[in-house]
Amino acid sequence: MIPPRLRFLPFLLCGALGVLAFAPFEWRPLLPIGLAFLFFHLVRLPPRAGFFAGYAYGLGLMGAGVSWLQISLDLFAEVGFLASILFTLAFVAFIALYFGLAGWLIARLASGRGGRGGLGLLGVAPAVWILVEWLRGWFLTGFPWLGMGYATLDTPLAGYAPLLGVYGLGWLLALLAGALALMFSSALGVRAILAAMAGVILLGGWGLQPLTWSQTAGEAIKVSLVQANIAQTFKWDPDQFGISMKKHLELTAAHWDSDLIIWPETAVSAYEHTVRPFLLDPLESDAREHNSEVLLGVPIMDFKSDRYYNAMLRLGKAAPGIRTPAALPPPGLPEVVTYYKRHLVPIGEYAPFRSLLKPLIDSLGIPMSDFIPGTAGKPLLRVAGYQAGISICYEDAFGAELIQALPEAAFLINASNDGWFGDSIAPHQHLEIARLRALETGRYLLKSTNTGISAVIGPDGQVLERSPLLKEHVLTHRVIPLQGLTPYARLGNWPVLGLLGLLLAGLMIIGRAVPGTGMRRGFDWRA
């Protein structure tokens, strides 16, 4: 018998163990097993207890899964050990509210004896869980980290990614968790039906995996990803700037035979206009001389607002080769050579509620924390003769924004500085996110980072080549430009979200019309 004060501890442990389903551990079955345990109890709990059960699960998942935030604040923002722990705990406590909301809604809508069966565990719980996860992915700019769909990589369910996207994958995983929970309280015949349903879902995903959704759009290009491994403690030190640039230039000079050389996010840790004469212009001349291009991260000042953009700047001349019509700029328009980051990180890159939080952000000592978001309609930039879909840092966590680059983009590029996270699980989690973006879009994805993990990811989501973490390295690989649209890239998240919304609405109508289903007849927010 669990003491009353500890009755929510099992849910917290289930959440914490769920982190092991994600990279770098990838013990995939742990997530649906833990979620099945949570769902089994949520449909039996009153709404208030359901909130605390879901909240405890969220505390465990996020507390263990984003513990790297404390490393960033303590070692690199230098706010102090105690302050970094308090800030991380406050962040986790806030994000866990989404899980509490999901727990409350599931308990509220599926309460009663009937709700403990198929309606609650196969209908309400999976739909509510994913709709709230979607809410977490955009409300207050969103934090979609550790979405359930990422735990389906390297499983049969991953075959559905080009059709359903991350939220569709998450719903299928939640559906399997609900079926597992239902098995605990079902007769043998029902268990057989549930097992058959799970088998059909898994076999369907396995059968979809060999399908290809994109076609060759031109000749392969040779790409080099420069990972200079500049320690975050030195990155913004003016005395270290020359050493950092010398290392990047030396690594670049050894790979001028590549069509495209990519430096990571803010590889140039100074304003573009201040280094243009002695760094960028000579580098562009070298790139043109070798018929190559360099794509690099650099902050660009906006003199009107005295603020700046987090940008990727292309230098050099496009290498000759076969180009799709979409790779060329429209007639009469100048060619765009810069991409400005559109989805900024709150606190880290800009001050939400600026008048209130700007003093707090300044006290954290985070460099370059007053960026302006870019306003481009599509995250595109022409490099090496092809349009590429560009994302900076955790922009690649927002799949609905990344697919805006399609169908024009022949491949995807993500430039990051994961040096903030040190030798933690965060770079592995970030690579996992990039893998799913490649699989959703049917495109190669080139991930260039400062300290690792840099990688070339194939359109099937598999890592073709990767760099070691926290080591200097240049990763070179040939990449095939692709064209075509996956169903997810064409339609986005709305078909899955609309289906789940209609499913919940239908279940509520059934609950009103059919006595004994266990579905609430009305929706009382005071409950």
Helices (H) and strands (E) in the chain, counts: 18, 14
pLDDT of residue 365: 57
Residues 320-360: tens digit of each pLDDT: 443 443 444 444 445 668 999 999 888 777 666 555 555 65
pLDDT of residue 302: 87
pLDDT of residue 367: 63
- DSSP string for 364-385: HT-SS--B-----SS-EEEETT
Backbone angles phi, psi at 44, to 5 degrees: -110, -10
Nearest-angstrom CA–CA distance, 331 and 112:
64
pLDDT of residue 516: 52
Nearest-angstrom CA–CA distance, 87 and 67:
11
SS (H, E, C) 157-194: HHHHHHHHHHHHHHHHHHHHHHHHHHHCCCCHHHHHHH
Backbone angles phi, psi at 81, to 5 degrees: -60, -50
- Contact (CB, 8 A) for 99 and 58: yes
pLDDT of residue 377: 87
366-371, long-range: CB within 8 Å, 24+ apart, which pairs? Answer: 366/77, 367/236, 368/236, 368/266, 368/299, 368/308, 368/310, 370/307, 370/308, 371/299, 371/307, 371/308, 371/309, 371/310, 371/341, 371/344
Domains of the chain: 4-211+493-513 (no CATH), 215-485 (3.60.110.10)
> Which runs of consecutive H residues, i.e. helices, occur in 403-470?
426-441
- Closest listed residue to residue 184, CA positions, set 314, 310, 38: 38
Total residue length of the chain = 527
pTM: 0.91
Nearest-angstrom CA–CA distance, 479 and 220:
5
Name the catalytic one among 393, 395, 408, 432: 393
Residues 100-152: tens digit of each pLDDT: 999 999 999 987 555 567 889 999 999 999 999 999 999 988 999 999 999 99
pLDDT of residue 333: 46
pLDDT of residue 523: 36
| Other beta carbons less than 10 A from residue 333's beta carbon | 7
Name the catalytic one among 133, 265, 401, 432: 265
pLDDT of residue 525: 34
pLDDT of residue 276: 95
Q: Strand pairing partners for 445?
A: 412, 457
pLDDT of residue 355: 58
Question: Which stretches of the chain score pLDDT less than 50?
Answer: 319-333, 520-527
pLDDT of residue 354: 59
pLDDT of residue 322: 38
Per-residue tokens: 211: 């399908």
Name the catalytic one among 284, 341, 432, 440: 341
Residue 14: active-site member: no
Contacts of 328 (CB under 8 A, 6+ apart): 382
